[in-house]
A and B are shown apart, each in its own frame.
Chain A
């Protein structure tokens, strides 16, 4: 959305105020380009842009996590989290099913995922600390589940991290 003055008198100044929605942007660059079409003799089509960089509070290396059910800690999946501070803690990790086919009552029950968070001793060049988060499930599961891993952190600015993923049942012949 853009607010602007539609008529500007000779010798006067008008304003053009674009807004970029960055809610939910977890990190990286953004840029919005706006084309202004007017009856100006010199530039009837003028482009302006508004950009910047969103710095992540916690950077997540994986977008999708595939976990084997009943694998135990030996089959844990490791993902990397990066945070500016050295005191990141994970309060809990749950898996929320979005499966089709499963009965509703079953889909609504979140599955608690076991985890272990370890931090690299020294920060990286950019000042961020790498954390390794190992995730695993002890209990056997009846069927494959698709959904989201939801974890809560001790950082108010980013108290929840969501990652899409699935829990895979090992086939026994």
Chain B
């Protein structure tokens, strides 16, 4: 019976580590990936900008390595 408890504990711990191993790491989330600035009258602006919010929903720091066009 004592052996069973030990096995059970080991199994629970193992599953826990497994879950942590799978879910560990940074994760990125953006609510709206395509932004439409709408209609702009010619000559009224020189440039259009938008600030996207990047959330890290993981449990480790997220590193943006590169941002490129395309």
Q: Chain A residues in contact with chain B, CB under 8 A?
A: 2, 4-23, 25-27, 30, 32-43, 46-57, 157-158
Contacts and interface: CB of A to CB of B under 8 A. Distances in A.
A34 B68 CA distance: 6
Interface of B: 24-30, 33-70
B49 to A, nearest CB: 4
B17 to A, nearest CB: 17
Contacts of A26: 42
A47 B70 CA distance: 8
A38 B62 CA distance: 7
B58 A54 contact: no
Given A13-B53, A43-B28, A48-B30, A36 B67 contact: yes
Given A22-B45, A55-B41, 14 more contacts: A16-B51, A19-B49, A20-B47, A20-B48, A22-B46, A36-B28, A39-B65, A40-B25, A42-B28, A49-B35, A51-B36, A52-B37, A52-B39, A57-B43
Contacts of B66: 35-37
Contacts of B62: 7-10, 14, 38-40
A70 B44 CA distance: 40
Contact of A10 (B49, B59, B70): B59
A2 B67 contact: yes
B67 A22 contact: no
Given A8-B62, A18-B49, A55 B67 contact: no
Nearest to B26: A40
Given A51-B34, A57-B43, A16 B67 contact: yes
